[in-house]
Structure 1
């Protein structure tokens, strides 16, 4: 959830069924995807405007924010993903700033046969600091239905280039073992598994880590926040400024077995499983890091039975202005550090 005093706890860094296709007669595919938040690439065609009419992300297309007045998120057309449109969001972190932007939803009750996927493209120019940790740019996911529980977090330290995720229980930002080059665009994804109460962090479609939900079990989803924070709790990181660019922000509820994420579970997904079996995690339906017989059984079950739809606990998406007041009530949640 959005809060000016984060629940984020920063840290100091650093062949099965081979003939199955021949044996199956495939009926029509089952529908598998529910769009939760689609930024439309922050393009003008999706309703996002830039100066002189507007440029602040807040107030556009349902986005709300809490911030310490030192950071900003603006829609601009100077830096954007090279393959997708001509607009993106520039996020600037100021010294001692702790800022978030999100489109609140639901709360949504997530069935066990669904995953929530948060996708975005991000480029993080290096701060130029000679050493130490710096600002963290990325996405946090929350269940704010009872307290402000973090589900999972993924992003980049703007000084070191380290890809970082939030660890289970301790909540500290932890290096995922990969770095990105300054200013280069990369694709990030958080996969939330409410059946197993864990999340998987991916960089450029490669799984980096799977770990439990940061603040424990949940079956509710309320928001995925663009975040600009300190990557650690030391003075150097707290005072470090930086900039990042976000594009193609998308939140979806999908079937576990929709491996190509094309909104259905069909024979193409089975082919992906066959190719990935024992080789990669491209057909990893249960988020255990590999593609195996357990993933096939999930595909088989969901192919025959259309996954349950996502259900709003309130049967309506609250108005952003009203929900923002609720979110602002959490301005002083605890910060834990290592």
Structure 2
């Protein structure tokens, strides 16, 4: 063993002793191994970037329960959270004035039929270049004027064509082809005026025909002498009452008394802030944590973004700008550690985490240090 003079013992023994303690290289080796393991794990482990938002469960199959006629509801089977099947009777509306309503509907059908007939005559007159409408008749005068306005507009274009001087244009250096093209512009305008007038008549006729079909359906429903109307479930699902409903209540025609949501085809509707809109896209994976359920106990649902609004929505209250997005979950229920299911229902809320990018922790720390690889 080397002997040191007392005056030499000023610094660490390790710096001057030729044989450092055996523990020192072991510590260095362990630190080196630990650093290598950490670097390997940082390369293999990814950091995921997410956009978070609050979502609510909605149903793709949502129907409003309403009566086509006003009256007193009887045998009401509409209850909150009640499961119903397609075609199940939800109530019967007793309306003593159904006969009067049928008479009114038939009157509307007659008016609509007359309008359709006049529009068909208008189409025929346009195609054959005639005008058989009576300008002195209060009903037919409208259609007479339509044709008259079209004829006047076409006459203006024809006058412009007649005023074209071929010889003068040739002296100005225009060829026969250029002169004909110039005339064709007015001819095309004439044709456009005709096509537009005919298209407007055809479109209006189709609208009245669709309205007539709806009226006919209502008329067929109101059978002679029948004073009851049955409300049935259009799909299988769960009821949610929008107003209290019970036997003896009078309901108004067209007023929703309940909604019916399908149980299977559910999705989450979430709001994405305008600053995060550029980060996400349709098809991005999503993690969903349902509010009220412990994530450590029930875990999360997986899903993906299936739709994003093309335009933003602005909240009137605070002026926030956001985009509505639709998230489709892979499953409609969660299981706890005891394998007990909790099913999604309309109205449930959740935290929606959209995963839009990922980077290894190795590159993440290098970026944080300002090192570009």
Coarse TM-score class (shorter-chain normalised):
under 0.3
Q: Which has the higher helix share?
A: 2
Q: Which has the higher strand share?
A: 1
